[in-house]
Amino acid sequence: MIIVMESRATDEDVQTVLDAINGAGLQPHVSRGVERTIIGVIGDERLIRRERFALLPRVENVIPILKPFKLASREFKRENTVVDVANVRIGGKAVAVIAGPCSVESEEQVFATAERVKAAGAHLLRGGAYKPRTSPYAFQGLGVDGLKILGRVRDATGLGIVTEVMESAEAEIVAEYADMLQVGARNMHNSKLLRALARINKPVLLKRNFSATFNEFLMSAEYLLSGGNSRVVLCERGIRTFVEYTRNTLDLNVIPAVHEVSHLPIIVDPSHGTGRHELVLPMSLAALGAGADGLIVEVHPEPAQALSDGEQSITPDEFDQLMSRVRTLAAALGRA
C-alpha cells in the first residue's frame, strides 16, 4: 500500500509513520516528491491494516496497490525515473544509445569498435566478458581478462561500460569495471542474482527473458527495487514466438505498456530482438517511435569474424547511418 502524507507534514510526522511501519514488521520506502512525501509499504499484505496508518497525524490517504509489483509501479512513483550511468541519463528527454560488440574478443577489437561508436555519438560501450551461450562448446567470454580490456578502453575513451554479470559470485569483480551491470535474458528469473545486484551500488540493465510475461518482467525489477537498488533500466530484447524468420520477435507493445504502469525507463535491443543485421536499423526506429528511452546495439568491426552474434552485428559504417537516422527521428519526436 501507499501512504500519502499531507503537504504540510513535517519530518517528525513522516518518522511517526516509518516507526509504525517498522513496528508492524514491514518495510517502508520513502519517496520525497516536490509537493508531497509518499511512503510505500512493502511486506506481507496480510499484516497490513489500512486503519493502522490512516489515523496517524498528517496522513492524507492510504491507498492499496493492486498490481503485484509495488515499488516499480506508477502508483508508487508518478514521475519517470531517470537513471544516471557515467555521462548519460536514461529515462529523460535524450535517447540513450549503448553500442559495442556482443563479446569482448581482444583489445584491438574493443578499441576499434569503441572509437567508432563514440565518434558516431553512442553514450555507453557494451561488450560481454562473461557470455551465456546456448552451446557449451561455443566461446564463453574472456572473463576477468575481458573486464580488464573494458577497463582500459573506458580509461582511453571515456565511454561508460555496460557488461553482463552471470552469477552472484562474480558481481563484485564485474562491478569494479562496469558502470552498468547487465542481467541477461537467461538470468532475468534468477532471484538470487537479482538480490545480490540489489546490494551493489551500480545501475542495472535488466533484460527481459524470452518467455517472460509482462508481470514477470516487472516482478524481476521489483526484486532489485525492494532489495535497495532503485537504478533499474528495463530492456526488451525479443521474445519466443512461432515466427522463425527472425531469432526472436521484438515485442514493441511492451514499451508503451511499461510506461503506462511503471516509472522505470525501458530501452530496446534490436540486435537480439531480430537476430538479423539488416533489421537492426528499421527496428531501432520503430522502437523510438514506440517511445523507447534508448537502444542497445551490437556493433563489430568485422561481423563475419565475430566469436558471437555476428549475423546480428552491424558494422561501424552501418552504425553511423543508424545514428544519423536516429537523430532525425529523435528531433521529429521532440527528443534529443
Distance CA 183, CA 224 (A): 11
Instruction: Give min distance, CB of 146 to Mn ion, in A.
Output: 14
Task: Rule CB under 6 A: choose which of 29, 247, 272, 300 binds ligand PEP.
Answer: 272
Q: Which residue is nearest to Mn ion (CB)?
A: 102
> Pick from ligand PEP, Mn ion, none: which does 196 bind, CB < 5 to 8 A by kind?
none
Task: Indicate the residue among 207 and 263 with the shorter CB distance to ligand PEP.
Answer: 207
Instruction: Give min distance, CB of 216 to Mn ion, in A.
Output: 22
Task: Indicate the residue among 1 and 153 with the shorter CB distance to ligand PEP.
Answer: 153
In our burial notation (b when 16+ CB lie closer than 10 A, e otherwise), range 21-39 reads beebebebbebeeeeebbb
Task: Rule CB under 6 A: choose which of 40, 91, 160, 184 binds ligand PEP.
Answer: 184
| Whole-number Cα distances in Å, 128 to 13, 19, 91, 92, 125 | 48, 44, 23, 26, 10
Check if the beta carbon of residue 173 is closer than 8 Å to that of residue 150. no
CB atoms within 10 A of CB 321: 13
Q: Which residue is nearest to ligand PEP (CB)?
A: 184
Distance CA 212, CA 235 (A): 12
> Pick from Mn ion, ligand PEP, none: which does 179 bind, CB < 5 to 8 A by kind?
none
User: What letter represents residue 197's amino acid?
Assistant: L
Tell me which residues touch Mn ion (CB under 5 A): 102, 309
Instruction: Give min distance, CB of 308 to Mn ion, in A.
Output: 6
> Pick from ligand PEP, Mn ion, none: which does 70 bind, CB < 5 to 8 A by kind?
none
**What residue has cell string 582511453?**
156
Task: Indicate the residue among 81 and 140 with the shorter CB distance to Mn ion.
Answer: 140
Distance CA 315, CA 162 (A): 19
CB atoms within 10 A of CB 140: 18
Scan residues 201-260 and list those touching ligand PEP (CB under 6 A).
207, 237
Task: Indicate the residue among 57 and 132 with the shorter CB distance to ligand PEP.
Answer: 132
Task: Indicate the residue among 132 and 228 with the shorter CB distance to ligand PEP.
Answer: 132
Instruction: Give min distance, CB of 235 to ligand PEP, in A.
Output: 7
Distance CA 62, CA 81 (A): 23
Task: Rule CB under 6 A: choose which of 21, 39, 102, 110 binds ligand PEP.
Answer: 102
Scan residues 131-170 and list those touching ligand PEP (CB under 6 A).
132
Size of the site for ligand PEP (CB under 6 A): 9
Helix axis angle, 316-332 relative to 107-120, nearest 10°?
30
**What residue has cell string 537498488?**
229
Distance CA 245, CA 293 (A): 27
Check binding of 64 to ligand PEP (CB under 6 A). no
Q: Is 278 exposed, middle or buried (0-12, 13-18, 19+ CB in 10 A)?
A: exposed
Distance CA 148, CA 144 (A): 6
Instruction: Give min distance, CB of 283 to ligand PEP, in A.
Output: 14
Q: What is the binding site for ligand PEP (CB under 6 A)?
A: 102, 128, 132, 184-186, 207, 237, 272
